[in-house]
Each structure stands twice: as structure tokens, then as C-alpha cells.
Amino acid sequence: MDARDKQLLRSLRLELCTEVLVDGLVIQYLYQEGILTDSHVQEIKSQTTSQRKTMMLLDILPTRGPKAFDAFLDSLQEFPWVKEKLMMKRKEMTVQDPAGVTEIAPCILKTSPTDQQLNKLARRLGPEWEHIVLCLGLSHTDIYRCKVNHPHNLQSQIVAAFVLWRQRLGKKATIQNLQASLMAEEVDPSVIQYMLE
């Protein structure tokens, strides 16, 4: 699923949870089209409320390949207003897609991020930070330690994880690697721009 569609699902997450009941045709259609596997269907059905079922589906969808979003749109036969809204938003996002994201100079890409830059980055990241540091080579144990060491401050947890990554990799902990893992997790490119300002 491309970054724009993931962003769209994320931005309408709560709305989708209140308006779409995935129990009926939605899951069955996605299963039929090969977007969901047996275990996905079981995992979704095992959730206790319809909102949780929808959230579970929204968590699974972005990982299911390039056809997942369109198949999801097709599955919304019972919810034409939701389908219409998603298609409208998708068009809007295409129009405002920032094609003019400024390039980062190669000399900057080869440097290690400073503490100040890591702090700025931590301010902009949400729950996706764990996937980003896993991409960078940290383990679940490392993440757990960062959380235990800073139990009440998400930003401190994130900074601690990035500092640990920088200490471990030394000169190999470059802004380029960081940018690559942010892109892999489809974090908005403006986040890295903000970090480098």
C-alpha cells in the first residue's frame, strides 16, 4: 500500500471505526480477494467490539500489499458514503502531494544526527517510532529498556532509542540510514526536513 493511502487510513481511523462494521461483507470480500489470510480473519473476529474489529483490520491492511487499499474500497459496498469520502480524500491528497520536497545534501546525509536533531525528530514521531528503531537494527529488548528507563515520557524513550542506535553503529549511524527507515515506515518527509532545520 502506498504511503498516501496509509496516511489516509491513519487520518480517518476513528471515523472509520465508528462508521464501518467489518464483520459482514468487508472481511469476507477481503478474504476472497486474497488480501486477508485465514489467521487475519480469525484475529479480526476474535476482537470483542465492532470498533476493535475495524481497528484490527486497519492495522493489518497497510501490510497487505499494493492492492489492499483498492480492495478495501471495493469491500465497502454496504457503506457507499464511506467509500465516497475515502475516494474524495484520496483525490485531495493527490492534489496536495508535496512534489517539491527539498533534497538533502549528500554531505549532510553522511553525518550522524546530533542530540538536538534527535530531540526534534522525537517530538514529531508517534507510535511508529518502535518500527523505525527496529528498522535501524535495535531489538525489542532495547525498546523495552528505553521504555522502562523513561516510563512517563514518550519523547525521552524515543531519544534514548535513537541515542542507543547512534552509540552502537558509530559512524554508520547516518542521517541517510535514519531517512531510509523513516521512509520505510512511511513517515511524512517533512519530519526529516523539520529535524534538519
Could you tell me which of 68, 88, 56 has the C-alpha nearest to residue 2?
Answer: 68
Q: What is the pLDDT of residue 99?
A: 46
> For residue 71, what pLDDT band results from cuts at 50, 70 and 90?
very high
Distance (Å, whole) CA 86 – CA 98: 19
Residue 182 to residues 38, 52, 119, 195: CA-CA distances in angstroms?
A: 31, 27, 15, 12
**pLDDT digit string (tens) for 24-33?**
889 999 999 9
For residue range 10-51, what is the model confidence (pLDDT) as tens digits? 888 888 888 888 878 899 999 999 999 999 999 999 999 988
3-state SS class at 151 = coil
Q: Which domains does the chain have, with CATH numbers?
A: 3-95 (1.10.533.10), 106-196 (1.10.533.10)
Whether 108 has a pLDDT exceeding 50, the answer reads yes
